[in-house]
Amino acid sequence: MNAQETKLQFLLEGTKQYVIPLFQREYSWGQSQWKTLFNDLLELYNEPNPKDHFMGSIVTMPVFSRPEGVAKYSVIDGQQRLTTFFIILSVIRDCAKEIGGKLPDIVNELYLFNKFSEGNDYYKLLPTQGDRKNFFKTMSGSQNGTEDNLNQMSKAYNYFSKQIKIKKIDVEKLLKTLTNSLLIVSITLNKDDNPYRIFESLNGTGLPLAESDLIRNYFFMRIHINDQENVHKNLWKPMQVSFDNFDKENEKGKTLSDFIRHFLIKDWGQIKEKEVYSSLKEIADRKSDDEIILYLTDIYDCSRHYLKLLNPDLEGNSKIRERIKRLNRLDVTTSYCFILNLYALYSHKKISADDFSELLSIVENFVIRRFICGVPANQYNKIFPTLFRSINKDNIVKSLMEQLKDKNYPKNTKFKTQLLTLALYGRGKDNKVKLILESLESWHGHKEQIEFEKLQIEHIMPQTLTDEWQKHLGDNWENTYDNYVHSIGNLTLTGYNPELSNLPYRLKKKEYKNSHLELNKYFEYIDTWNEEQIINRASELAECALKTWPSFHSNESENDITNIIVSDVTGKKPVSLFMLNEKFQVSTWKEVLIKTLENTYILDEQVFFILNQEYPNRINPNKDKLRVPYDFKNGYFVEVNQSAESIKKFCLQIINRFELSEEDWKVETI
């Protein structure tokens, strides 16, 4: 990167052309920006010995275009400012024509045109497609129409023209001020620089530049000018319009950039978000000019599949459509690169619709099991990018299961154990939990279709305990609440969530009895609701889950886990805690708890605020809220009067909260 201070005169002199990225947004500066710029010019104009005035930066990158012509520089940043300078120069030239002399020719030959070039190369600034017709008119001095229907460039021309005439400006002096007193930082990137990062560092508070903007410009500089309109109309614009519908207002181009990133990942492996342009350019640079349109056509074809991932209703096959909808609820966009490869096989009739649907269900199985067992999702960006290349396409369904079962895929014993105790609900996981509950309900095979979208997640033991609920749960109600309030055994679906709220169990049971859901028919013969009943129900739901998402391991039997012992620490003494690659000597479960909290506090100081909100009976700044408080160093108190089993469960809930795995936390006992 070459950055230097310069004057407009030196920026424009010589045979060259500044190219605004093709099909970029049109000229949009208005009177507010024109007024600010012109006032700065007047201030310098009126100074007897004007000092240099900094006007911002212009960031460019040398480019090669088809066909070749004058030296061209793509404008990465500063296009609005640079375009306005050209408009002011054209106004100065036209005002000078009324006076006579050589000034008009000087402006034309030094600053506006490449005198001996032809076609588009004649202009030192080549705006985006939508602006060219208006810009060429402005440069030729022909302004038409009334003020109400003028384009933005003509309005700018009229504004500066009126200001010069009203204030009786000496245009020769104004030209000298404009070309010699305005200081500009000219930043010229080389081929190895990342224009996205340069733009981002210069425009931290401005509109973000999407990687797709750079990619679009790259493609159209590679495509012959005779083909550009057709390619834009049939390939690029349909993609951009379709994906723009999914963008947030301040993130235009992001969805298209995300798609291109997944398109690249599906063939080349993991690519960082801010390296999409440089990665695509590196790949496309190897292709000939004749191949570049074919490459863009491949991207366009793939974009039709990606749109179905974003909006599954576009998918015609009902089985595939529902599978994609389910995966989207699991928020596993890192799998898109893999699914795009499956879509390519499906579209070329190399796999059937049933096979495609089955492959998607295998991905769901893999994600659900890992989610329930607290396996961190941050490993997906290492698993899915290379997955397609590793599977046998001749026996693709079996091969996919074989590949995934060795990627930290939980076996039945771990899966069921976690379902019995894991805090599923909360912390942004509600959509996934609702999908799990819907799946467990659907496992019963209803003939009548259930409108799940009208149902909500209901806590049987409520999230806010009344005095009656505390008495109902018994003396150990705090531990029962903390350990099981968000577990699968205490969750169900209902259309009457607001009405049920924190009603006593005897009243909730009456409402459940009237429900058409199998999940709620369970309560008909259950007279009380406590820790034992929650575990019993969780065990039944876990059996359904094992059948809904069966293991990839063929040698596993559900019968092997029918009598799982939830507690494996009662009566055992801890001697070592292994956490985050460190070993700590401990002798009591209280020390295990304190050491676990100390290490999580190092990871994030806000952890205690979060844990206090979620487990006020375990961690609280008010020691009077706890039975046996331990004074922790940051102003919080920790409840240490807990059983070994409760402490282990709580510690696992904490590490799950931080998206750590059980490999990051282990206790050695004797």
* Tens-digit pLDDT profile for residues 19-45: 887 656 788 899 999 999 999 899 889
Mean pLDDT of the chain: 87
Query: Which one, of 60, 89, 254, 70, lies nearest residue 161 by Cα?
Result: 89
Please report which confidence band the pLDDT of residue 253 belongs to, taking 50, 70 and 90 as the band edges. Answer: confident
Residue 643 is predicted with a pLDDT of 87
Residue with tokens 């349909």: 238
Tokens of 117: 């070039």
Q: What are residue 666's phi and psi, to 5 degrees?
A: -140, 145
Q: Quick check: 441 and 521 in contact, CB under 8 A?
A: no
CATH number of this structure's domain 574-669: 1.20.1380
**pLDDT score of 208 more than 70:** no
Burial of 116-137, coded b for 16+ CB within 10 Å and e otherwise, reads eeeeebbbbbbbbbebeebbbb
Q: What is the mean pLDDT of residues 48-56?
A: 75
Residue 205 is predicted with a pLDDT of 38
494-503 residue pLDDT tens? 988 788 888 9
**Is the bond leading into 574 cis (omega within 30 degrees of zero)?**
no
Tokens of 449: 């279709």
Residue 204 is predicted with a pLDDT of 41
Residue with tokens 């065990």: 539
Please report which confidence band the pLDDT of residue 566 belongs to, taking 50, 70 and 90 as the band edges. Answer: very low
Contacts 24+ apart (CB under 8 A), 444-452: 444/518, 446/518, 448/516, 450/516, 450/517, 452/493
Residue 562 is predicted with a pLDDT of 46
| Cα separation values, 328 from 323, 334, 367, 548, Å | 9, 11, 11, 18
486-536 residue pLDDT tens? 999 999 999 887 888 889 999 999 989 888 899 999 999 999 999 999 999
Of the listed ranges 192-206, 243-257, 353-367, the one predicted with least confidence: 192-206
CA 551 to chain centre: 31
**pLDDT score of 194 more than 70:** no
Strands 125-126 and 182-188: unpaired
| Cα separation values, 294 from 81, 233, 289, 301, Å | 36, 15, 10, 10
Residue with tokens 């620089």: 193
Q: Quick check: 300 and 238 in contact, CB under 8 A?
A: yes
139-176 residue pLDDT tens? 988 765 455 568 899 999 999 999 999 999 999 999 99
Name the burial class of residue 510, with classes exposed (0-12), middle (13-18) and buried (19+) by CB atoms within 10 angstroms of its CB.
Answer: exposed
Residue 325 is predicted with a pLDDT of 97
The sign of the torsion formed by the CA atoms of 606, 607, 609, 610 equals positive
Candidate ranges 63-67, 376-380, 553-557; pick with highest mean pLDDT: 376-380
Please report which confidence band the pLDDT of residue 206 belongs to, taking 50, 70 and 90 as the band edges. Answer: very low
Q: Quick check: 647 and 592 in contact, CB under 8 A?
A: yes
CATH 1.20.1380 intervals, the chain: 574-669
Whole-number Å distance between alpha carbons of 654 and 643: 16
